[in-house]
Amino acid sequence: MSTETPAKPQGPQPTAVATSVNLRGLRRVGARPPLLDYLVSLWDYRHFVYYDAQARVQTGNEQDKLGRAWLVLSPLLNGLMFYLIMGVLLKSGHGIENFVAYLVIGVFLFQMSSRAISVSSRAIAGNKNVIHAFQFPRASLVLAANLRELFANIPVLITMLVLVIILPPAEEISLRWLMLVPVVGLQFLFNLGLGLILARLVSMFNDVNQLISYALRLWMYMSCLFFSIDKFDSVPWLKGVMEYNPLYNVVHLARECVLYGSVGSWRAWAILALWALATLAVGMVFFWKGEESYGREL
């Protein structure tokens, strides 16, 4: 029987190395963060959102000779068109006190939401190059689009109030006009929430983008821009549906503050506030859940 011992291998021997690296805190690149962390990162990008919105307002109409004047001319021309069709031809303003101002407020405020919703719905689909190149909370694109529309419409709101003052029968300036600030603030929150929902839907199904203009047109007629809601007294269920329309309440509260010496009913304020906060909450969660999918499709 052989009693030879095996030869020892030559050269240095590998030794076990202990590691203290904690891999539990690592996260896959591009992974969706927790909702609270996502909101914090969105806050961290607030300066980018602000300056992006401000810069795009300044350059938005630079290719047109009239430039930013179109921000005011567009609702003015729409208001004139609706006045000729609805006020002069169809007499829809019969029985409405100061129908011209009534129409101006409706058209100007509805166009603010219409533009904001349309632009923010394309925020993801229209910025794929930026999304592919950089890592940042995608909701900042929708927020910037809505903030841009808010900045752009400040001269529009001023023009609206000037028209209310100078067009006969002229209205007197009142402290109640300050209530326009919370009305527009709630309108902004609602636009942002709906924009977040539509931005994700359009990124998933581009066909949704084709339907938005039709939906906005129907919504316009359901918001009583150029006729009184009292026309539907004979159809109570339809009148009830329209009273819960958030954009109807935006326009209604603005008219109450500016034209009728009132701050509006608590019910109208409650309906608008609930719509604004609920839409924003649902929109943020819905958009956040799709964070990983934005920009993946090429």
Per-residue pLDDT of the chain (298 residues; tens, 9 = 90+): 555 555 555 656 655 555 555 555 555 555 788 999 999 999 999 998 998 888 877 776 555 555 567 767 777 787 788 778 776 776 766 678 888 889 889 989 999 999 999 999 999 988 888 888 888 899 999 999 999 999 988 888 988 898 888 888 878 888 999 999 999 999 999 999 999 999 999 999 888 988 999 999 999 989 988 888 888 888 899 898 999 999 999 999 999 999 988 898 999 999 999 999 999 999 999 999 999 888 665 4
| Domain assignment of residue 18, yes or no | no
Q: Within 13 Å of residue 167, how many CA atoms lie on the same side as its CB? A: 17
What residue numbers bound the domain in which 186 lies? 34-289
Spatial neighbors of 193 by CB under 8 A, at least 6 apart, are: 276, 278, 279, 280, 281, 282, 283, 284
Q: How many domains does the chain have?
A: 1
Q: Which residue has the tokens 């719905």?
A: 121
pTM: predicted TM-score of the whole model, two decimal places = 0.84
Tokens of 296: 């993946």
Tell me, what's the pLDDT at 21?
Answer: 53
Tokens of 280: 């924003």
| Domain assignment of residue 52, yes or no | yes
| Domain assignment of residue 238, yes or no | yes
Sign of the four-CA dihedral 270, 273, 275, 281? negative
Tell me, what's the pLDDT at 6?
Answer: 56
| Domain assignment of residue 156, yes or no | yes
Q: Which residue has the tokens 């349309």?
A: 118
Tokens of 50: 């602000």
Q: Where are the beta strands (DSSP E) in 158-226?
A: none
CA gap 119, 145 in Å, rounded: 6
Neighbours of 190 (CB within 10 A): 26
| Domain assignment of residue 14, yes or no | no
| Domain assignment of residue 19, yes or no | no
| Domain assignment of residue 210, yes or no | yes
| Domain assignment of residue 40, yes or no | yes
